[in-house]
Amino acid sequence: MKQKRFFLSDSELPQQWYNIVADMPQKPQPLLNPQTRQPAKLDELSQIFATECCRQELNTTEAWIDIPEQVQELYRNYRSTPLVRAYGLEKALDTPAHIYFKNESVNPLGSHKINSAIPQCYYCKQEGITNVTTETGAGQWGMALSYAARLFGLEAAVYQVKVSYNQKPYRRILMQTFGAQVIASPSMSTRAGKDILTHDPNHNGSLGTAISEAVELATTTPEKCKYTLGSVMNHVSLHQTIMGLEAEKQMEMAGEYPDKVIACFGGGSNFSGICFPFMRHNLRQGKKTEFIAAEPASCPKITRGEFRYDYGDEAGITPLIPMFTLGHKFKPANIHAGGLRYHGAGAIVSQLIKDGLMHGMDIPQLESFDAGLLFARSEGIIPAPESCHAIAATVREALKCKEEGKSKTLLFCLTGHGLIDATAYEQYINGDLINYEYK
């Protein structure tokens, strides 16, 4: 009998996250304080983030970081997630490739974001913080944070980009269901928001303005409130390695090891999480696994961006990050994969790409939905528009195997489901969806 899904028992779950920086031949360059242009120090960063997250952010020496016992316990509510052999997709493609996916769509709130929301809220709680804040676009990260805050009895204030707040009400409602305060950004609740609205009362918001508001809220009361972020930062990547560490054991249960690991790419949280644990065997033992970051053709920071210091936000108030970037003022096209509409790549991934150890693959929007629909119809899971990019890259690789008559083992990360993104599928099915060029 063919085993299709692989799980770990609770006692097999990873008890440490993997910090790849310790194993990197070339360390990523440091974050810089935007005022002084000097490497950002712990006490500067911890005005914004929980102090323990900042320690993790700056840790370049320890490969393994203990997962706090309480975080492990909360992980056990939903982890391990299944590793699934995609026999249905293989059959639909008639490919000799073996395709596996790590299914994070069955998580609470339907995406991988919860994996970092839990530890970030845990550390805030430990440090006596009572309030957390963040920004969100479509709302995957905001939902995860709202739930995690609730678990630890923290008040959450989520600045949601105004256009999403109004046009995509489902995730807003779900955040409110967890008790979060959701504020359409720009708002009158911060100086930054007031300034923007004074100039343009009809401003529709952007991730840039929402970050400005959230960071302002945190930094004006740092002893009480911290800012949290769902991607880009090293500590977020660290938390997300729980996925790859599980997948490594699960692939072993399946008797396989991936030739290629594929993930969609926004700021790097799921890509890092699934790839870094396998990358460690490339770094330590000379394995030759290939790592493919599937990014939107209209927002191709990896394949067409440049490597330099840039701000993490549009307004230019965050630390400077050494990144592959399209420029922090870049306005991404209005694709449905909201989580991939980001101008830059996190520092670690950027360094690994610069060193030729990973690479990007850009996927046009229509190709991503072609692949997503094929996956939905063959595996029964409606993938999130972000995940569709990873599926499209996997389909390309699986068809290459077919052409070449070679069997390769492919692993991709299914970051989340797309049930709340149904309108995107409607546009696609009706032929109303278009490709956007990068310009």
Peptide bond into 368 cis (omega under 30): no
3-state secondary structure of 183: strand
Q: Does 169 bind a copy of itself (CB under 8 A)?
A: yes
Q: Which residues contact 412 (CB under 8 A, 6 or more apart)?
A: 99, 100, 101, 102, 261, 262, 263, 274, 390, 391, 393, 394
Interacting residue with a copy of itself among 3, 35, 202, 285 (CB under 8 A): 3
Tell me whether residue 429 is exposed, middle or buried, using C-beta atoms within 10 angstroms of its C-beta: 0 to 12, 13 to 18, 19 or more: exposed
Give whichever of 77 and 407 is closer to a copy of itself, judged by the CB atom. Answer: 77
Phi-psi region for residue 182, left (φ > 0), alpha (ψ -120 to 50) or beta? beta
Q: How far is the CB of 162 from a copy of itself (least distance, A)?
A: 18
Q: How far is the CB of 176 from a copy of itself (least distance, A)?
A: 6
Output helix, strand, coil percentages for the chain, rounded to the nearest 5: 45, 20, 35
Q: How far is the CB of 181 from a copy of itself (least distance, A)?
A: 12
Give whichever of 174 and 347 is closer to a copy of itself, judged by the CB atom. Answer: 174
Q: How many residues bind a copy of itself (CB under 8 A)?
A: 47
What are the phi and psi torsion angles at 248 (to 5°)? -60, -50
Peptide bond into 28 cis (omega under 30): no
Interacting residue with a copy of itself among 38, 60, 166, 173 (CB under 8 A): 173
Instruction: Pull the structure tokens for residue 51.
Output: 């102090």
Selection from 222, 196, 221 nearest residue 208 by Cα: 196
Give whichever of 179 and 404 is closer to a copy of itself, judged by the CB atom. Answer: 179
Tell me whether residue 218 is exposed, middle or buried, using C-beta atoms within 10 angstroms of its C-beta: 0 to 12, 13 to 18, 19 or more: buried
- Full DSSP string of 42-91: HHHHTTTS-HHHHHHHH--S-SEEEPPHHHHHHHTTTPSPPEEE-HHHHH
Interacting residue with a copy of itself among 33, 70, 126, 176 (CB under 8 A): 176
Give whichever of 20 and 151 is closer to a copy of itself, judged by the CB atom. Answer: 151
| Angle CA 231–116–215, to nearest 5 | 55
Q: Does 174 bind a copy of itself (CB under 8 A)?
A: yes
Question: Which residue type occupies 247?
Answer: A
What would the x/- binding string for a copy of itself be over residues 131 to 150, using CB under 8 A?
----------------x--x
What would the x/- binding string for a copy of itself be over residues 408 to 427, using CB under 8 A?
-----------xx-xx-xx-
Give whichever of 63 and 419 is closer to a copy of itself, judged by the CB atom. Answer: 419
With the C-alpha atoms ordered 133, 342, 385, 383, is the resulting torsion angle positive or negative? negative
What is the chain's alpha carbon radius of gyration, rounded to the nearest angstrom?
20
Task: Report the site for a copy of itself in 368-397 (rule: CB under 8 A).
Answer: 373, 376-377, 379-382
Give whichever of 141 and 271 is closer to a copy of itself, judged by the CB atom. Answer: 141
Q: How far is the CB of 260 from a copy of itself (least distance, A)?
A: 23
What are the phi and psi torsion angles at 273 (to 5°)? -60, -40
Q: Does 433 bind a copy of itself (CB under 8 A)?
A: no
**Do 185 and 161 meet the contact criterion of CB atoms below 8 Å apart?**
yes
Give whichever of 291 and 425 is closer to a copy of itself, judged by the CB atom. Answer: 425
Identify which range of 19-27, 48-56, 174-182, 231-239 contacts a copy of itself by CB under 8 A: 174-182
**Do 83 and 12 meet the contact criterion of CB atoms below 8 Å apart?**
no
Give whichever of 173 and 188 is closer to a copy of itself, judged by the CB atom. Answer: 173
What would the x/- binding string for a copy of itself be over residues 96 to 125, using CB under 8 A?
----------x-xxx---x-----------
What would the x/- binding string for a copy of itself be over residues 73 to 92, using CB under 8 A?
x--xxx-----x--xx----
Q: How far is the CB of 234 from a copy of itself (least distance, A)?
A: 26
Neighbour count for residue 188 (Cβ, 10 Å)? 10
Q: Does 10 bind a copy of itself (CB under 8 A)?
A: yes
Q: Does 37 bind a copy of itself (CB under 8 A)?
A: no
Instruction: Pull the structure tokens for residue 278.
Output: 């396998």
Q: How far is the CB of 319 from a copy of itself (least distance, A)?
A: 31
Q: How far is the CB of 425 from a copy of itself (least distance, A)?
A: 5
Positions that interact with a copy of itself (CB under 8 A): 1-5, 7, 9-11, 73, 76-78, 84, 87-88, 106, 108-110, 114, 147, 150-151, 169-171, 173-174, 176-179, 373, 376-377, 379-382, 419-420, 422-423, 425-426, 429
